[in-house]
Amino acid sequence: MWWKRTRLAVLTVVVAGLLGGALALVFTPLTRHLARWATSDDWSALDGPARAAAVGQFRLAVVQVVAAVGAGIALTYTARTFRLTRRGQVTDRFTKALERLSSSEPYVRLGGVLAMEQIVQDAPDQGDHAARVLNAFVREQAPAAATTQLAATQLAKKPDEQVQEALRALTVGRPWRGDRRAPVDLAGLHLRRAQLAGAHLNGALLEGATLSEVDLRGARLKGADLTGADLTGADLSSALGLTVAQVLQAGALLGCRLPAAVAADSTVAARLTPSE
């Protein structure tokens, strides 16, 4: 960008000016005058050798200051170069992980999920981007929830391994789960028997999802949208942040295990057991 080039040019001019001024101080008669000014009234009391020593000390001090400034500038440029190099490496790794996720081979896609997770461990600032990619991956790979009982019997009894790993990585918490990041979107997906124990699903979009027999023990579900979700046989016995209002929005609760405080609600309790 032009402003970056301008800033670099200004910095170069300033550094060149400092070096030029330092050379003028060290290698011109100006050094003697400055040394005389620095010693003030003591200069007249110094003999020839003492004055020469004072000038030498002054020059040494100038050289040390210039060296310190130069070291600071070099360190700044080194740090900047390191950040740019590291950013380039992370971008390259991110691109390769994306290529793996788009592979037709399941084990390659699984490797892409694990690579994406490792990138975030090394570069937490990529957490938001990785979460968006993995959420899109889950939505692409997981089947849609069945609309009829017959169609449901034809779907997988549990998620594919790469989908399960992506779900785990997506919901493990920080550095993935940022406070301002878009919520996890699993709405309308068939995720029967998924392992989501301890998952961070605060504010998650679970509308119409098939979550039957899903392990959600210890999952954080504050504000999650469970409208029309199938929770048949799901284990939410130790879920955190779950309210009666959320549970009553679910489409099916038969055999669902809920926190004691939620299950104690009479309306909820009536839906947990089959009607006579």
Does residue 76 have a pLDDT over 60?
yes
Buried b (16+ CB within 10 A) or exposed e, 23-45: eebeeeeebbeebbeebeeeeee
Q: How far apart are the first and last CA of the chain?
A: 72
pLDDT digits (tens, 9 = 90+) for 81-135: 656 566 667 788 888 988 999 899 999 999 999 998 888 877 777 888 888 999 9
CATH class of 145-272: mainly beta
pLDDT of residue 2: 47
Q: For the chain, give percent helix, strand, coil, nearest 5.
A: 60, 5, 35
pLDDT digits (tens, 9 = 90+) for 189-244: 999 999 999 999 999 999 999 999 999 999 999 999 999 999 999 999 999 999 99
Nearest to 187 by CA among 130, 152, 134, 229: 229
In contact, 109 and 138? CB cutoff 8 Å: no
Nearest to 80 by CA among 2, 7, 175: 7
Does residue 177 have a pLDDT over 50?
no
In contact, 109 and 162? CB cutoff 8 Å: yes
